Amino acid sequence: QVRVITAVRLVPYGAVVSYGAVAAAVGCPEAARAVGQALARNRTPVVVPCHRVVGRRGPGGFKAGLGWKERLLQLEGAILSSASEKRKASRVVLT
């Protein structure tokens, strides 16, 4: 969980990264669901921007609700409200 939180803190404002990419970045490429579980336990969403982690085919989950996740991403310029807009979102590679 600590490695996931550390990796997600590196995702810059206005960018998104997939659960799978976070899993790969922490050395567990098959553990995308575990990344989601770790982020569900995030107690500091202001410090650890878990709203910037998205699924391959959609926004994924968010403790405060998907509406809040989408609003936060729209405010940051990483709009994910439709499939065509999802392609425009800035995806980052965590190393």
Catalytic (active site) residue 50: yes
Catalytic residue among 21, 24, 50, 78: 50
DSSP 51: G
Distance of alpha carbon 36 from alpha carbon 18, whole angstroms: 10
**Backbone dihedral angles phi then psi of residue 8, each to the nearest 5 degrees:** -65, -30
Nearest residue to 48 via CA among 58, 38, 57:
38
Round the CA-based radius of gyration of the chain to a whole number and report it.
12
Question: Which residues carry out catalysis?
Answer: 50
